[in-house]
Structure 1
Amino acid sequence: HQQSLPNMATPLLSFLFFTTLLFSAHSELCNPKDKKVLLKIKAAFHNPYVLTSWDPDTDCCVDWYIVTCDPTSNRINSLSVVTGSLSGQIPAAVGDLPFLETLDLHKQPNLTGPIPPAIAKLQRLTFLRLNWNNLSGPVPDFLSKLKNLNFLDLSFNNLSGSIPPSLSLLPNLNALHLDRNKLTGRIPYSFGTFSKVPDLYLSHNKLSGPVPTSFANMDFNVIDLSRNMLEGDASVVFGSNKTTQIVDLSRNLFKFKLSKVKFPKSLTSLDLNHNNINGGIPVEMTALNLQFLNVSYNRLCGQIPVGGKLQSFDYSSYFHNRCLCGAPLPSCK
């Protein structure tokens, strides 16, 4: 009697095993369209180690790394590769994940080629970071179609050509990083017409020409135009009614009178080193709560006003000017 027990148990176990299989097949959260696209992306990148978890027999919402699914719709809403190594170009298939809100490809030195036009199909995208890669070609005009973007970072690549004026049409942008590329031409006039003013990072490029006069209307919280070949009067970025905190105009060819600038009271960091800025340091600067200041390597003259934070910086913040004097520099004769 006891010997027949295992024989009875076997069909029962197999039955349980198959119903479990059947149930799991039907209960997969991953959308089959999304899974197909992700496997296409994996193949386009030549099945890299970082995408090993992307196994067609497992659930992309449960078992796959690097992607996340929306808890309600179970559609892929995030693709983020910030470790490991991808090589090749960004495949057009990324544009076939219609529920994607975050696309983040970061520190992938073997990621080359242009930014694919298919990205313009990702209408729900709010966060696009393609930085520290080896991408080339232009900053694409079609990015202006991604109306929900609030963060756009294409920094540390080999992007060239001019900046598309249409980026100012992005109505929800909090930050725009185009720094450390090989961009040329002028800063678009339209960048003085953002409806929501982003933090603007354009440093370490080859931009030339003047700062657009339209910047007089823009209250940037952060603006970094350093290490370009920009020229003329950059004082339009300032203004007594603005709430700007950080301004970096260093290492350009700017020429304007510092004594005539109206500074925002909110300013905490000001870097103007290596330009052709003249005049003197206005006494109004003693009222600023500056954490950082560098006006070295310019053509400034006269006494450094005493007070506020101006004496808390050492001589290297002021040296190599035409005839600036007073603490922390040697006293005026």
Structure 2
Amino acid sequence: MMEINRFIKLLSVLMFVLSLCMKLNSVSAAEVRSVERERLSLLKFKHDLVDANGLLSYWGSEEDKIAQFNADGVLSSWGSEEDKKECCKWEGVSCSNGTGHVTSLNLVFHSLKAKLSPSLVDLQHLNYLNLRANDFGGSEIPRFIGSFKNLRYLTLMGSNFSGEVPCELGNLTNLNTLDLSYNNLRIKNFDCLYHLSSLSHLELNGVNLINQTSWLHHMTRFPLLEELHLIGCQLPNPVLSFDIFTNSSLSKLSSLFLPNNYLTSSSTFRWMFNISASLKFIDLTNNQLEGPIPDSFGELFFLEDLVLSYNKLRGGIPSSLHNLHTLEISSNELNGLLPDNTTFSSLSGLYLGNNKLNAFHTQCLGQPLVLRHLDLSNNQLKRLPEGIEKLSNLSSLGMSSNLLEDTITESHLSNFANLEDLDLSWNSDLTFNLSSDWIPPFQLNSLTLSHCHLGPHFPNWIQTQNTLRWLDSSFAGISDAMPNGLWNMSIDQLDLSHNNIRGKIPNLSSKSTGYFNIDLSYNNISGPIPSFLFHSEEIDLSKNMFSGSIFHLCTIPKGSMIYKLDLSDNQLAGELPNCWMNISGLIVLDLANNKFSGKIPLTLGTLDRLKVLHLRGNNFIGELPSTLRNCNGLRTLDVGGNKLTGIEKLPNLNDLDMSSNLLEDTITESYLSNFANLEYLDLSLNSDLTFNLRSDWIPPFQLRLLLLSNCHVGPHFPNWIQTQKTLVFLYISFAGISDAIPNWLWNMSSLSWLDLSHNNITEISRHSLDSAMLDANK
């Protein structure tokens, strides 16, 4: 009997275990099916995308191209192939370790051109969704996002959504972070977001709230809010009511960002000091605040950083702000000093640029001296602040655009062991008197001394700055040779323009990198241009004495990012290289006033981003290359002062100068009718150029300048000129006109300069046009 009982008990246990396993298997199967739906949902989402980081052209249909984009782009890990079936390993996808459900979708900064597929509704376990910096084509935010009840983090910042923010977002009651910034959105009804009571971080930057006078009242409905960003929302002054202050639930609010709105002092300061006692950071940049800075900021006991720049605040800085760490009041109308009875011993950053300060003292900054950043630029200071050399912890010092009359000596700078950025530019009476063997205690990142008396010798101490990335010593009175050691430094931005620097630049063949920006214009530098300078992005070597050819441009790797190349007013010679396709990003090319010769190369037509082309004052021959028609962005073309014999139709031009050439064409309506955007036209000093235009022809453009001197324009006065209502300059001398001046010419109200000299004009009606030149006529 005992054996039977044992058998029954054992059988019961086995049946229980078997039942439990069946249930677990059932749950597991359900989970597997659920996860499979999520995988298929993501694949459907991918199918609706165009991955802009993929390759840009393929053979085949549009669907094939899109598939290839995705396969080779950032979503290449997403797929149905055997080695890609585990969606939890896809880029941007995270899953729960326990259940395998997709819990996070993070596609930030992937430049995806997309639409949000409704298939995403299957991702019901999502708690994190970040689609920042993609492109959803101006579509509305889909309402189904409100079905993600587990969502805690949602950001759609800068993703090209438009329209109204859907009320369905109010269903996301677990949401902690919501960022809808920098789209084209508006909120019509704040009430539908009332249930987002878990929000701690809200960013609505750029969302249109222009008529929402109750916006502050709505914000108080989010009791856990810690950060609020409403930048550029066109916020009006809120309508204040007693219950805003008595029922305020923003006890946790610590950071408040309200720049670029329409807030005024009378309203803003009233509610701000009552809305939360926990504020640590306040930014009210670029509003309509005026008057003195209120002492009541001192009542915000935890306040550390205050930004009030770009307003109309006057007076001085109240002593109540002595506990701040950072104070920014740039671009206001401050004219008062820091209070001398208060010690601002906690300040690490003080930014007072672009005000009306005529004096500043450092005594009130207190001990120990923790100040690291001091900006007093663009004020009316005539003297360096007394005691400034004691601010030994300074990392950045800006005093540009003042009226400083001091002489900088080693005693001013020798205590700044931590200095990284120094800007004393645009102080034309500021002089430097530093010994040639002085070695500073600091290592700078940036040094800006433009428009100071730095010369005549090049400062040797600059070569001791091994970390220097930005050097601007333009207009500094330097009349010395450039030290060779300068070219071995790690500088990215170099501006030594408008000095009298002489000598040659060494050809450092081992230097494979150039500069982001190099400007050596208006000096006396001679010799050939070393090839390493062409590895820069913006190059200005104009107004020097460089010589030789520029054929080493062809040694630049294809795809090099040169945006601006200005070599004008030098002594460069020879033919132009025919390898311009290597620098296809070029926007500005200026080779004017050199000694270049030969034909203009065809490969200039590969520069499809080119906007400005100056080739004036050389010895180019032949015709303009037809390939320039490919430069659809070209707006300015100046090839005057050469030996060109033919013209070309370039329809997008604003400015065309082909003066002083050997043009032999006949200008007809069919040629000029191409220039719908033309504003400046100079075809003067081409004695074999003839105009044959109908008297009733109406041009498609509105010129401001027209120069046709020394061309065959006559015998009749060009009637089409009367259609140019914006014309300011009109020069048609030596043009073979033997006609009477029409009365409409004197009624052109915009015309300021007129030259009709050396024609055979038969009748002149004397009107008051002071600058008219009519001599040598009949």
Q: TM-score under structure 2 normalisation?
A: 0.35
CA distance in 2, matches of 1:215, 1:319: 36
SS at 1:79 equivalent: strand
Residue matched to 2:38: 34
Provide the identity percentage. Answer: 27
Q: CA deviation at 1:184?
A: 2.7
After superposition, residues 148-227 of structure 1 pair within 5 angstroms as 148-162=174-188, 164-186=190-212, 187-210=215-238, 214=244, 217=248, 218-219=250-251, 220-227=253-260
CA contact (8 A) 2:114 2:135 kept: no
Root-mean-square deviation (Å):
3.3
Q: Distance in 2 between matches of 1:248 and 1:326?
A: 24
Does 1:97 find its partner at 2:123? Answer: yes
Q: 1:237 aligns with which of 262, 268, 272?
A: 272
Matched, 1:291 2:315: no
Change (3 A) 1:124 1:169: same
Task: Pick which of 179-188 and 167-176 moved more.
Answer: 179-188
User: How many equivalent residue pairs?
Assistant: 302
Q: Which moved more, 1:179-188 or 1:37-46?
A: 179-188
**1:93-144 deviation line (CA, Å, top 9, x unaligned):** 2233111111111221455411100000000001111112212112333212
1:142 matched to 2:168: yes
CA distance in 2, matches of 1:151, 1:240: 21
Distance (whole Å) between structure 1 residues aligned to residue 128 and residue 166 of structure 2: 18
| Contact 1:77/1:99 (8 A) holds in 2 | yes
Runs of 5+ unmatched residues, structure 2: 1-28, 51-66, 363-375, 384-778
Distance of aligned partners of 1:131 and 1:163 in 2 relative to their CA distance in 1, 3 Å threshold: farther
One-letter amino acid matched to 2:39: K
| Equivalent residues of 1:89, 1:112 under 8 A apart | no
1:13-49 deviation digits (Å, cap 9, x = unpaired): xxxxxxxxxxxxx997972221222222122225533
Shift of the 317–168 alpha-carbon distance from structure 1 to 2, 3 Å rule, reads farther
AA partner of residue 327 (structure 2):
L
Equivalent residue runs for 1:1-333 within 5 Å: 31-45=35-49, 47=67, 48=70, 49-57=73-81, 58-109=84-135, 112-162=138-188, 164-186=190-212, 187-210=215-238, 214=244, 217=248, 218-219=250-251, 220-231=253-264, 232-235=266-269, 236-238=271-273, 242-255=277-290, 258-263=293-298, 264-277=300-313, 281-286=317-322, 288=323, 290-298=324-332, 303-306=337-340, 307-309=343-345, 317=352, 320=355, 327=361
How far apart in 2 are the matches of 1:311 and 1:174? Answer: 28
User: What secondary structure sits across from 1:238 in the alignment?
Assistant: helix
Question: Is the Cα contact below 8 Å between 2:154 and 2:177 reproduced in 1?
Answer: yes
Tell me if structure 2 keeps the 8 A contact 1:30–1:60. Answer: no
Residues 29 and 74 in structure 1, CA contact (< 8 A), matched pair in contact too: no
Matched AA of 1:117: R
In structure 2, the CA distance between the partners of 1:312 and 1:30, relative to structure 1 (3 Å rule), is closer
CA contact (8 A) 2:245 2:275 kept: no
Deviates more, 1:152-161 or 1:54-63: 54-63
8 Å contact from structure 1 (residues 112, 134) kept in 2: yes
Letter in 2 for 1:95: V
Runs of 4+ in structure 1 off by over 6 angstroms are 26-30, 328-331
| CA distance in structure 1 between the aligned counterparts of 2:240 and 2:120, rounded to whole angstroms | 35
Larger displacement relative to structure 2 (269-278 or 65-74): 269-278
- Tell me the distance in 2 between the aligned counterparts of 1:197 and 1:267: 17
User: Do the aligned residues in 2 keep the contact of 1:164 with 1:188 (CA within 8 Å)?
Assistant: no
Q: CA deviation at 1:256?
A: 6.6
Q: CA offsets, 1:146-170, max 9 Å, x none?
A: 0111111112322235572443531
Is the 2:153–2:175 contact (alpha carbons within 8 Å) kept by the matching residues of 1? yes
Q: Distance in 2 between matches of 1:294 and 1:105?
A: 33
Q: Secondary structure at the match of 1:124?
A: coil
- d(CA) in 2 for partners of 1:255, 1:169: 37
CA–CA distance in 2 between the matches of 1:53 and 1:259? 57
2:226 and 2:103 map into 1 onto residues whose CA distance is: 24
**Contact 2:295-2:319 at 8 Å conserved across structures:** no
Q: Please give the secondary structure, in 2, of the residue aligned with 1:184.
A: coil
Cα distance in 1 for residues equivalent to 2:347 and 2:128:
45
Question: CA separation of 1:145/1:233 partners in 2, compared to 1, >3 Å: closer, same or farther?
Answer: same
3-state DSSP class of the match of 2:44? helix
Query: Quick one: which amino acid aligns to residue 147 of structure 1?
Result: T
CA distance in structure 2 between the aligned counterparts of 1:62 and 1:238, rounded to whole angstroms: 48
User: Partners in 1 of 2:89 and 2:348 — Cα distance?
Assistant: 55
Shift of 1:202: 0.6
Give CA deviations for 1:255-304 in whole Å, capped at 9, x if unaligned: 57533424312211101123344675332212x1x232123444667553
**Letter paired with 1:244:** L
SS in 1 for 2:237: strand
* 8 Å CA contact retained: 1:254, 1:275: yes
- Taking the aligned partners of 2:294 and 2:358, their CA distance within structure 1 comes to 13
Shift of 1:239: 5.2
Asked if structure 2 preserves the Cα contact closer than 8 Å seen for 1:234 and 1:256, the reply is no
Q: 1:240 to 1:179 in 2, by over 3 A?
A: closer
Q: Which residue identity is paired with 1:34? A: E
Give the Cα separation in 1 of the matches to 2:189 and 2:317.
34
Q: Distance in 2 between matches of 1:192 and 1:260?
A: 25
